[in-house]
Amino acid sequence: MLYSKIISIKKVGLVLSGGGVKGAYEAGVLNILAEHKLIERVDIISGSSIGALNAIYLAEQLKQKKSFFDATNNLVNLWLKLDQKKVMKVDIWGIISKLIYKAQSVFSTDPIVKILKENDIPETRKIRDYLTEKIELLITRTNLNRAIAEVFDPEESVYEAMLISAAFPGAFPSRQSADGDWCTDGGVLDNTPIKPVIRAGAEKIWVLYLAQEQRLVELNKEYKNAKDVLARVIDLIHSLLIF
């Protein structure tokens, strides 16, 4: 008599936390886990803030038939090529004018769009497109109108998901979602989006948690003129962004 053994393959989830430029560390850890074959495949990828950028890039690489190791290796190379100054360009006089005219944000989203385009992610790409490779991509945003963290609809644009999920309040502009609500950085209310992965049915979950550390900022310094005050403001903005 022949017996057939049914092997149950568990759904594997990956959660990528937000954490500014610590996204580079996140990429490195993923690459090491893949190199040692601790993670060889994922079925669900969830990301918030900078974790959303890493999640989108990984999903795109897997859609292009890359192995998980090759995908993480390419992600590391992306971070090695990234110039922080180009992504977050600090223009003192630009900041002054924006503060005076009460602009919604200090930084432009153009460099983020450029990163996506340079890595062959088409502007027409929708989140649901990754399902063809059996990859469920879950990107988290903070809905300001409803005061909740929510996952983007699969029909929404990958570009829009990236721009909203990484829209650190005050630094990058908040944006309106397809239903008209104003949304911002997913990390505001859910920096490590585990619940969406659980709801999606993952039985084994890898979580890359980027802890926020207290950044040392010099205290009790004298501010003799407008230039000193402005320099202090920029330093404080920087301490919020690069944690």
Does residue 48 surpass a pLDDT of 50? yes
pLDDT digits (tens, 9 = 90+) for 172-201: 667 888 888 988 888 889 999 999 999 999
Tokens of 92: 């003192």
Cα 114 to Cα 55: distance, rounded to the nearest angstrom: 17
| 55 close to 16: Cβ distance less than 8 angstroms | yes
Confidence band of 227 (pLDDT split at 50, 70, 90): low
CATH class of 12-212: alpha beta
Residues 6+ apart with CB under 8 A from 126: 154, 155, 156, 157, 158
pLDDT digits (tens, 9 = 90+) for 76-92: 998 888 765 455 444 44
Amino acid at 87: V
Does residue 2 surpass a pLDDT of 90? no
In this structure, of 12-16, 44-48, 175-179, 183-187, the range with the lowest mean pLDDT score is 175-179
Does residue 241 surpass a pLDDT of 90? no
Span 5-19, mean pLDDT?
Answer: 81
**CA separation, residue 214 to residues 149, 210, 239 (Å):** 24, 13, 9
Does residue 3 surpass a pLDDT of 60? no
Confirm whether pTM is higher than 0.85: no
Q: What's the chain's average pLDDT?
A: 80
The whole-number pLDDT of residue 90 equals 47
pLDDT digits (tens, 9 = 90+) for 128-169: 999 988 999 999 999 989 999 999 999 999 999 988 887 776
Does residue 93 surpass a pLDDT of 50? no
